[in-house]
Amino acid sequence: MRCSVSPDPEALAKAIARARLNVRQAEAIAQDRAATAGIGRKVTRARPARTPIRSRSKKRLSDALGLVVTIAHRGKGGELKIRYKTLEQLDSVIRRIERANRIGRAAKVGLE
């Protein structure tokens, strides 16, 4: 559902048709009216403060993988994003995780 910018959208539509405006011109008028009316402003969320621990963790992961890493803490958990450009980079990350998992299991078996 679209928000009407004009108090009388039918009159605005007729005026646009009468003036034979193209779509881009009509959009420009709508944007001007929206800006004047204060409609359509983007709401920006405040970025969460970076903690030293999160910054260090992000740098350690980024340095270890050689890729861009993003960490978003949410409550008790969070989200980790690893940005890759090629499938080879993705495959490398998967191999590293699998190798670490094998080493962890082998160490656990040795402790039992």
**Interacting residues of 94 by C-beta distance below 8 A, sequence separation 6+:** none
Are both 24 and 74 inside the same structural domain? no
The reply to whether 18 and 61 lie within a common domain is no
5 vs 20: which has the higher pLDDT: 20
Q: Are residues 36 and 71 in the same domain?
A: no
> What domain range is 23 assigned to?
1-44
pLDDT band at 1 (very low <50, low <70, confident <90, very high): very low
Q: Identify whether residues 13 and 60 lie together within a single domain.
A: no
3: pLDDT strictly greater than 60: no
Looking up tokens 């050689």 gives 66
Let me know whether 21 and 39 are in one domain. yes
Count: domains in the chain: 2
Q: Which residues contact 70 (CB under 8 A, 6 or more apart)?
A: 58, 79, 80, 81, 83
pLDDT bin (cut points 50, 70, 90) of residue 5 is low
Are both 60 and 33 inside the same structural domain?
no
